[in-house]
Amino acid sequence: MRKNVCKLRGIGKSFGTNDVLRGIDLDLFAGEIVVLMGANGAGKSTLVKLICGYHSLDSGDMELDGNPYLPVDPAGAISAGIVTVHQSIDDGVIPDLDIATNLMLDHLTRPNAGLWVHDRKLRQEATTIAQSMGITTDVRTKVAHLGVADRQMIAIARAMARSPKVLILDEPTSSLSATEAERLFALLDTLRDKGVAILYISHRMSDIRRVADRIVSMRDGAISGVFNDKPLEYDNAVTAMLGHAMTDIDITPVESGSPILEIRNLQLEADSPLINLSACDGEVIAISGLLGSGKSRLAEILFGQRKPYGGSLLIDGAPYAPESAGDAVEWGVHLSPKDRGTNAVIPTFNITDNISLPFLRSFTRLGLLSGNRQKHSADNMINQMGVVCQSAKDGINTLSGGNQQKVMIGRWLLKPCRLLLLDEPFQGVDIGARRDIGRHIRASAKGRATIVFVAEIDEALEIADRIVVLHESQIVGEHRNTNIDLNVLIAQVSGAVNTETTSTAL
C-alpha cells in the first residue's frame, strides 16, 4: 500500500472577496511525481504557498505523515520536511554569497553548528552536492556571477541538500536548457526511487510527458481533473485546465498584407542552419521553442542588442542592421522584454512615467516636458489596455502583476511602430490579463508586423495567425493557426522530429 505523505482536504483560501482556492483535495504519495497543471491565475502558486507555510489556510485540513500539519512560516515547513523551489529563482539563492555557502547555509545556521566554520570541509561537502546536480563551477564562485540557468540549478541543489519528504518544484525548467532539464529529470527519478513525494508544477508538455506519474489539473481555484490511468491523457488534462481543448480557440488567421520584416539566410550561431522568414502587415506570428532554441537570441538580433553570425534583415524592403536598441526604435522596431521586474519596470516611477519612458522627447518642447500631454497619452493607453488602477499617477508597484504587464506592453504601443516584438508577454500574468493583452495585440495589429516569442504552446495558439517553431537555432516547423495537428506541433517544439525532413512553407 502506498504511503500518503501529504494529505489535503477541503482547502480554501480567500483574499478579500476573491476566493482563490475552493475545496482543494490533494494526495501526495511517497515515490510518486504528481504534476500540477493550471493556467495563470488558476491558484497553483497560492496552493504551494499554503503548503510551504507562506500563507495560512482559511478552511480545510492538512496532514503530513498522518499527523496534523499547520506550518506557521516557511521555516516551519522546511523543518517538517516540505521543501519548495519557487519559480522566482532568487527566492532560493542569496546572490551575494558564493555557491558553497548557499548550498550549506542550512547546516551553518543550525543551533548546534558552532562558532567556527571549517572552510575546506564546507567546500568539500558543497562540491559533493554540486556534482550530484552536474554543477562543475568552482563552489567559491559568487552566485551573482552565475547565469540564470546556473542559479536555478543551485536553488534546486540547495533544496536537495535538505533531504525533503515532500519536494515542490514550481516551473523548475523555465530557465534550463534541454540538457540541464534532462539532468534534473534524472535526479527526480532517483528521488522518486528513494520515496520522496514530488509535486511538480508545470504545463510544459515535454516536462509532463517525461516525469508525470499522475496529473492534477486546476482551473479557477478548484481541481478540474485528475488523471491516473496509463498512458496519461495529456490532451484531456489540458482541456480540464483550460476549460476547452487547446486547439479550440476563437482565432481566424488574417490574410496578411505586404512583408514588413524579411529575414534572409540569418544565422543565430556560428554553425547553425539558415533562417528565412517574412512577417507581414497585420500579421501576428508566434515563435515558439524551448529554452535554448534561439528565441531570445533572435529577438535580441532584431532589436539591435546582438549581431547575427550571417545573413541580412530588411524592413519595408530597406536593409536593416541596427547598431543598438535606440537605433532599432528609430527604425520603428519596438521590443517588450521578458522578465518585467528585471528588464522593464522602473519601481520608483508612477504608471505615466513607466509608460512614456522611451518616448519622452515626443512630449518635450523647447527642452521642457509637457506633463499634461504625457498624462493624456498614458490615460489613453491605460484605457485601451484595460489597466485596473485609480489613476495614471499611481505607483507601478501598486498594480497586480497582470496590470504591470499591461503597462509594459502599453509602453511599446504608445507610439506607432512597424515591427512589434513581444518576448514572453504573458509571463507571470493570470489568464484574464493574458486574454486582455492578446485581444488588444490582435485588434491593433494592422499597420505593423507583430512577433510574439513564447515557450508555451497554448499561449501561441491563443494569439497567433501563424506559429513558427524553433529548435536548436533553426526553424523546424510552421503552422497556420487553424486545424493544427497538436501532436506534430508538440514533437517539433520538443525536438522529437527529424528536422531534415520537416516540411515548412518558408
Label the pairing between strands 33-38 and 214-219: parallel
Residue predicted with more confidence, 421 or 87: 421
Residue 505 pLDDT level (bands cut at 50, 70, 90): very low
Dihedral sign of CA atoms 212, 203, 87, 76 in order: negative
**Residue extent(s) of CATH 3.40.50.300 domains in the chain:** 4-242, 251-332+450-506
The residue with greater pLDDT, 151 or 442, is 442
Q: State the helix-helix crossing angle for 431-443 and 371-385, rounded to 10 degrees.
A: 110
**pLDDT recorded at residue 385:** 87
pLDDT score for 506: 31
- Does 444 or 501 have the greater pLDDT score? 444
Q: Grid coordinates standing for 494? A: 520538443
What tens digit of pLDDT does each residue of 372-431 get? 888 889 899 898 888 888 888 888 888 877 788 889 999 999 899 999 999 988 876 666
- Find where cell 507562506 sits: 54
Q: Is residue 497 predicted with pLDDT exceeding 90?
A: no
* 260, pLDDT greater than 90: yes
At residue 19 the predicted structure's pLDDT band, cuts being 50, 70 and 90, is confident
Residue among 320, 260, 310 nearest 473 (CA): 310
What pLDDT does residue 184 have? 82
Nearest residue to 331 via CA among 310, 314, 312: 314
Average the pLDDT over 267-271 and give the result. Answer: 91
Residue 502, pLDDT > 50, answer no
**Which pLDDT does position 87 carry in this prediction?**
65
Pick among 3.40.50.300, 3.30.420.40, 3.40.1160.10, 3.30.365.10: CATH of 251-332+450-506 = 3.40.50.300
Least confident range of 2-6, 442-446, 488-492: 488-492
Q: What is the mean pLDDT of the chain?
A: 84
- pLDDT tens-digit series, residues 152-178: 778 877 777 777 899 998 878 766 767
Which of residues 312 and 136 earns the better pLDDT score?
A: 312
Please, are residues 273 and 476 in contact by the beta-carbon 8 Å criterion?
Answer: no
**What are φ and ψ of residue 373, in 5° steps?**
-65, -40
Residue 90 has pLDDT above 70, yes or no: no
pLDDT tens column, 449-461: 999 999 888 889 8
359: nearest Cα among 396, 401, 411: 411
Class of domain 4-242: alpha beta
Q: How many angstroms separate the CA atoms of 139 and 127, rounded?
A: 6
Average pLDDT of span 300-325: 95
Query: What are residue 419's DSSP bridge partners?
Result: 333, 449
Q: What is the pLDDT of residue 499?
A: 44
3-state secondary structure 379-419: HHHHHHHCCCCCCCCCEHHHCCHHHHHHHHHHHHHCCCCCE
Taking residues 58-79, report their average pLDDT.
92
